[in-house]
Structure 1
Amino acid sequence: MIVNAQETAEPRTYVDHILEHWHKDEDAEALVQGAQRLTRGEARRRLFSLGHALRRIGLVPGDGVGLFLANRVDSVLVQLAVHLIGCRVVFLPPEPGPGELAALVEQSRARAVVTDPLFAARAADAAGRSVHAPVLLSLGPCAQGGTDLLALAAECPEERPDDVPAPGADEAVTVLYTGGTLGRPKLAAHSHRLYDAFVDLAQDDPEHSRTGFFPTMTPGADRVLAATLLTHASGHLTSIQALVTGSALVVLPEFEAGAALTVLREERITATMFVPPMLYALLDHPECEPGTLPALRRIVVGGAASSPSRLQQAVEVFGPVLSQGYGQSEALGIAAFGAEDLASQAARRPELWGSCGRAISDTEIEIRGEDGAAALPVRQVGEVCVRGETVMLGYYEDPERTAAALHDGWLRTGDVGYLDAEGYLYLVDRVKDIIVTGSTSDNVYSRVLEDFLLTLPGVRNAAALGVPDEDYGEAVQIFLATAEDAHIDPDAVGAAVTAELGDLYTPRRTILLDRLPTTKVGKVDKKALRAAWTGAALDAP
């Protein structure tokens, strides 16, 4: 095998680390999606040809490339190819309507938009509204007339593209959208330092492996399942975790508990990541029993607040394999709790089931008051602020929001929580999700309420919202997804809440549903709940 000098040089980016693995043991599996199975050699050659194809349509280093993609092997390779040729990845969210999606394409200054054929009509509409007139590329033929990127790549060389400059220290190489569950998505821009930090966490000393984000991997032996969206921070992080450690990455096209169990079992998955509603759905599946997944040794739970009672249930079913990770699009890694620590420490201090761990390496966490100026004492509730290499450069092309979120390198996360004396972080709410109610306008923390509701028999998932109230400004309204054979009395639920949490938390209404709506990335969609059950619906019996 002949490789050029650039391929054998000291690695400069995370893609170089991936290619180091893909040049060894070329017949080992690298990427899997159903019947599609690519070896390391095949993945490397396809990556190079995709890089040449992107160049052939006129992209140059520094250009933005919007990715509007489904979960598939080629989506992984396209994202890598964009970085390989020095361009900027812009992950486009699946949730927004046409106008908002077009605005994000415009704001990101994308020179091209790569779409899955399933999304081609929406992508073509968004690209057509942009004054930058981005080129429309499709992973396969589509009726909207975009260039078939896969067909173009098949005509291109399978050697690594050369003459790619190293990214600048403060150059945005990846732009992630925020979840958008509480408002219009924003574009969080990150430099290559984010990837340098994760390479260090994944490959340095074993102590880092206990953070929860990067379980200890055995190159060539571990198999990682990407179950969340690859274009979301959680799916992107999972795929990077697998690839930089030389593990095989198995892509789940769409999450459904039964299908996920089948893939976990048949592909002998050793590590994966779920957002909490995914984990809950898996636990509620009738085929999910102790011993079902003997190969599984790490489940990272993150992306949204987790219920302590559900986490304990997961350990009972899967064993001591559960890790927690806390981050957001603005700071992909903030705190984490490794499986070994969670199993041992929670036995000593049960309250740690409600913690999301301690700051990851080279990251600082402070809890600050409303003015954001000074750190609060231990166990005092305030806004979580963080500083470190995983923090974004800012919101792309959005200086006003950047100034509001970042100050002297510190990010105001918008999450509310506290630190204990040992540095463990506990989240109690989102700033915008706090319910302010009662005669003295006190705070009701929806996370606290939801955690309690999930301890009640027959409750599979729960959400709490503040709805308009003439007397108190807001009133507590709860939504419960119940088990199929459960008989839940809303009045009894309200009484249980009052007895446990006090009058302030007593729900004005309790709405029973078969399931709670979720966003495309698996989080409970509180915007959808608010739209469906407030206003006129508030007066429903």
Structure 2
Amino acid sequence: MIINEQGTSEPRTYLDRVLEHWHQDEDTEALVQGAQRLTRGEARRQLFRLGHALRRQGLGPGDGVGLFLANRVDSVLVQLAVHLIGCRVVFLPPEPGPGELAALVEQSRARAVVTDPLFARRAADAARRSVHAPALLSLGPCEQPCADLLALAADCPATRPDGVPAPAADEAVTVLYTGGTLGRPKLAAHSHRLYDTLVDLAVDRTQETGPEVFPALDPGTDRVLAATLLTHGSGHLTSIQALVTGSALVVLPEFEAGAALAVLREERITATMFVPPMLYALLDHPECEPGALPELRRIVVGGAATSPSRLQQTVEVFGPVLSQGYGQSEALGIAAFGAEELAAEAARRPELWRSCGRAIADVEIEIRGEGGTAALPARQVGEVCVRGETVMLGYYEDPERTAEALHDGWLRTGDMGYLDADGYLYLVDRAKDIIVTGSTSDNVYSRVLEDFLLTLPGVRNAAALGVPDEEYGEAVQVFLATAEPAAIDTDEVAAAVTAELGDLYTPRRTILLDKLPMTKVGKVDKKALRAAWASGALDRPSVSA
């Protein structure tokens, strides 16, 4: 708790934690992006100016503010500023098309949209389509009719805005886009309880908090790299965990393996998070070799399924620095595997390389059968259901889909998996990605198949899809990314799959590509693959198995 000017106590928020650090050792570096380097004092004053500038646009407690931002230092500060004045953060990631983006702005009830100049044209189009006609602000000058928020902030006081009430326990303070159908997006809404839990996991070492994703960070020396999108859960979590511990946060504008290696080395990064394709690209870079990053103490990998063979390769190259995290927009923290635990336990039990760890503090995990009501015994595959402080309040302004996803506080994640006797969670597929095939309509788990394909020589990435089949309903088809297509014999791929996983997993066809399409958050874009296949764009008989 903290005591306000009236002498009464108020809850201590994650922002209070950040500002406690930024009021100390003011010349210590706080935020970095290339040549832009802000000390703690400079970051604090700019945060306060941005808060006042947003207020002067008529924004107040409870108002939604859409953030359509690229990875940059100013994006970190404006997100904090929205919370500082009691407004609701609405993250607008860059991947939705024009109609979906407009629907997202409309459904979120955003009173204003803050855009990066790079996205200003799309933001202006979305704002024009919205019935609520939100105000449009930009982080710098742009060609669209936007007010320049940075210029407005320059004329504002560098003192903390006052009169901001504490958020209610059930008030949505952050909303994340998590897909949906065309024109009807799903927006996962979270309360301040999420941030309280994140602070406990990152800061409080006086009590048992479950698996440790980041170690206790030293604000005097630790430097954290935000490499994933700040407007997605992974980038948001990385930045918050760095800020509440007083660590320096370095922002990577765009990911490219060579550039990332250079930043990791030059900025003496000690902790970071990557989604699997980023990690794979880093490992495949010619300059990535043992000893290349001596300062690095922790790599967290999450956001999508990760190949066990690639995880082991990471430890071989960087040492025992690898942690895993599992979550989704609807539950930003579910399970984790700390680096020390992974290094110690996987050496004794190699199957743990396929696990994403155990439930974090205050989170319960159950595997449930069809209908989502009955818990299944250990090692039986079912839907992963979770309950805890990191679970969303619901889908914003969408009671129907909230009721489908949440039952008595339990979230149906849509992921299929199982728990072992020690509580380690293993994911086998997304429910929607299971391929139902064979004479008895058995389940082929694409995650299992993809993990095996990534162990084959020359395979850089893999995706398994079910394609229509007259005899079995669906047939297994795989897509492999490799830099040397001629080095892979698709018949040998099919034979290797059959030998390892059985006839049911044998791919009907194997398509070789230079690279697989990726979403903005670094996952294989299976929708794009399906669309390309359906259009005939990938139908190349020369590469069929």
Q: 1:491 maps to what in 2?
A: 491
Deviations 1:325-355 (A, max 9, x none): 0000000000000000000000110000000
Deviations 1:68-120 (A, max 9, x none): 00000000000000000000000012111101100000000000000000000
1:501 aligns with 2:501: yes
Is the CA contact 2:368–2:383 (under 8 Å) kept in the aligned structure 1? yes
Q: 1:538 to 1:246 in 2, by over 3 A?
A: closer
- Amino acid aligned to 1:22: W
Equivalent residues in 2 for 1:522-541 (5 A)? 522-537=522-537, 540-541=540-541
Q: What TM-score do the two structures reach when normalised by structure 1?
A: 0.97
Tell me the CA shift for residue 214 of structure 1.
2.9
Q: 1:459 maps to what in 2?
A: 459
Q: 1:318 to 1:526 in 2, by over 3 A?
A: same
1:246 aligns with 2:246: yes
- Amino acid aligned to 1:15: L
Is the CA contact 1:384–1:415 (under 8 Å) kept in the aligned structure 2? yes
Tell me the CA shift for residue 180 of structure 1.
6.8
Looking at structure 2, the residues matched to 453 and 182 of structure 1 have their Cα atoms a distance apart, in angstroms, of: 33
Q: 1:336 to 1:369 in 2, by over 3 A?
A: same
Deviations 1:182-216 (A, max 9, x none): 99752100000000011111111267577243322
Tell me the CA shift for residue 459 of structure 1.
0.6
Is the CA contact 2:209–2:361 (under 8 Å) kept in the aligned structure 1? no
Cα RMSD (Å): 1.9
Looking at structure 1, the residues matched to 228 and 428 of structure 2 have their Cα atoms a distance apart, in angstroms, of: 24
Looking at structure 1, the residues matched to 486 and 261 of structure 2 have their Cα atoms a distance apart, in angstroms, of: 24
Looking at structure 2, the residues matched to 182 and 418 of structure 1 have their Cα atoms a distance apart, in angstroms, of: 32
Q: 1:188 maps to what in 2?
A: 188
Tell me the CA shift for residue 538 of structure 1.
6.7
1:353 aligns with 2:377: no
Equivalent residues in 2 for 1:374-523 (5 A)? 374-484=374-484, 487-523=487-523
Q: 1:84 maps to what in 2?
A: 84
Looking at structure 1, the residues matched to 444 and 527 of structure 2 have their Cα atoms a distance apart, in angstroms, of: 18
Is the CA contact 1:181–1:525 (under 8 Å) kept in the aligned structure 2? no
Looking at structure 2, the residues matched to 112 and 191 of structure 1 have their Cα atoms a distance apart, in angstroms, of: 20
* SS of 1:467 mapped into structure 2: strand
Unpaired runs of 5+ residues, structure 2, are: none
Q: 2:258 maps to what in 1?
A: 258
Tell me the CA shift for residue 12 of structure 1.
2.1
* SS of 2:377 mapped into structure 1: coil
Q: 2:204 maps to what in 1?
A: 204
* SS of 1:290 mapped into structure 2: coil
Q: 1:139 maps to what in 2?
A: 139
Q: 1:128 maps to what in 2?
A: 128
Looking at structure 2, the residues matched to 517 and 182 of structure 1 have their Cα atoms a distance apart, in angstroms, of: 20
- Amino acid aligned to 1:396: Y
Tell me the CA shift for residue 253 of structure 1.
0.0
- Amino acid aligned to 1:280: Y
Is the CA contact 1:227–1:235 (under 8 Å) kept in the aligned structure 2? yes
Q: 2:74 maps to what in 1?
A: 74
Q: 1:7 to 1:502 in 2, by over 3 A?
A: farther
Looking at structure 2, the residues matched to 396 and 15 of structure 1 have their Cα atoms a distance apart, in angstroms, of: 23
Q: 1:425 to 1:184 in 2, by over 3 A?
A: farther
1:292 aligns with 2:292: yes
Is the CA contact 2:276–2:304 (under 8 Å) kept in the aligned structure 1? yes
Report percent identity of matched pairs.
86
Tell me the CA shift for residue 534 of structure 1.
2.8
Is the CA contact 1:366–1:375 (under 8 Å) kept in the aligned structure 2? yes
Looking at structure 1, the residues matched to 7 and 349 of structure 2 have their Cα atoms a distance apart, in angstroms, of: 49
Deviations 1:470-495 (A, max 9, x none): 11111111011113486000111001
- Amino acid aligned to 1:113: V
Looking at structure 1, the residues matched to 232 and 6 of structure 2 have their Cα atoms a distance apart, in angstroms, of: 31
* SS of 1:178 mapped into structure 2: strand
Is the CA contact 1:181–1:526 (under 8 Å) kept in the aligned structure 2? no
Tell me the CA shift for residue 220 of structure 1.
2.2
Is the CA contact 1:210–1:341 (under 8 Å) kept in the aligned structure 2? no
Q: 1:92 to 1:50 in 2, by over 3 A?
A: same
Deviations 1:478-527 (A, max 9, x none): 01111348600011100100111011111111111111111111111111
* SS of 1:386 mapped into structure 2: strand
Q: 1:209 to 1:387 in 2, by over 3 A?
A: closer
Q: 2:314 maps to what in 1?
A: 314
Q: 1:152 maps to what in 2?
A: 152
- Amino acid aligned to 1:353: W
1:33 aligns with 2:37: no
Q: What TM-score do the two structures reach when normalised by structure 2?
A: 0.96
Q: 1:222 to 1:310 in 2, by over 3 A?
A: same
Looking at structure 1, the residues matched to 351 and 89 of structure 2 have their Cα atoms a distance apart, in angstroms, of: 40
- Amino acid aligned to 1:92: L
Looking at structure 1, the residues matched to 182 and 203 of structure 2 have their Cα atoms a distance apart, in angstroms, of: 36
Deviations 1:213-257 (A, max 9, x none): 332211121000000000000000000010000000000000000
- Amino acid aligned to 1:308: P
Q: 2:363 maps to what in 1?
A: 363
Q: 1:199 to 1:181 in 2, by over 3 A?
A: farther
Q: 1:56 maps to what in 2?
A: 56
Looking at structure 2, the residues matched to 436 and 276 of structure 1 have their Cα atoms a distance apart, in angstroms, of: 26
Deviates more, 1:70-79 or 1:170-179: 170-179
Q: 1:57 to 1:263 in 2, by over 3 A?
A: same
Q: 1:429 to 1:261 in 2, by over 3 A?
A: same
Deviates more, 1:61-70 or 1:466-475: 466-475
Tell me the CA shift for residue 177 of structure 1.
1.2
Looking at structure 1, the residues matched to 468 and 223 of structure 2 have their Cα atoms a distance apart, in angstroms, of: 48
Q: 1:454 to 1:124 in 2, by over 3 A?
A: same
Q: 2:219 maps to what in 1?
A: 219
Q: 1:381 to 1:183 in 2, by over 3 A?
A: farther
Q: 1:15 maps to what in 2?
A: 15
Looking at structure 2, the residues matched to 84 and 7 of structure 1 have their Cα atoms a distance apart, in angstroms, of: 20
Is the CA contact 2:210–2:361 (under 8 Å) kept in the aligned structure 1? no
Looking at structure 1, the residues matched to 95 and 365 of structure 2 have their Cα atoms a distance apart, in angstroms, of: 30
Is the CA contact 1:449–1:505 (under 8 Å) kept in the aligned structure 2? yes
- Amino acid aligned to 2:256: E
Q: 1:270 to 1:320 in 2, by over 3 A?
A: same
Is the CA contact 1:32–1:73 (under 8 Å) kept in the aligned structure 2? yes
Q: 1:326 maps to what in 2?
A: 326
Looking at structure 2, the residues matched to 524 and 6 of structure 1 have their Cα atoms a distance apart, in angstroms, of: 53
Deviations 1:429-450 (A, max 9, x none): 0000101111111100000000
Looking at structure 2, the residues matched to 114 and 501 of structure 1 have their Cα atoms a distance apart, in angstroms, of: 50
Tell me the CA shift for residue 142 of structure 1.
1.0
Deviations 1:372-401 (A, max 9, x none): 111000000000000000000000011111
- Amino acid aligned to 1:29: E
Looking at structure 1, the residues matched to 340 and 180 of structure 2 have their Cα atoms a distance apart, in angstroms, of: 33
Looking at structure 1, the residues matched to 7 and 530 of structure 2 have their Cα atoms a distance apart, in angstroms, of: 52
Q: 2:172 maps to what in 1?
A: 172
Deviates more, 1:351-360 or 1:208-217: 208-217
Is the CA contact 2:120–2:142 (under 8 Å) kept in the aligned structure 1? yes
Is the CA contact 2:4–2:10 (under 8 Å) kept in the aligned structure 1? no
- Amino acid aligned to 2:30: A
Looking at structure 2, the residues matched to 508 and 128 of structure 1 have their Cα atoms a distance apart, in angstroms, of: 47
1:267 aligns with 2:264: no
* SS of 1:152 mapped into structure 2: helix
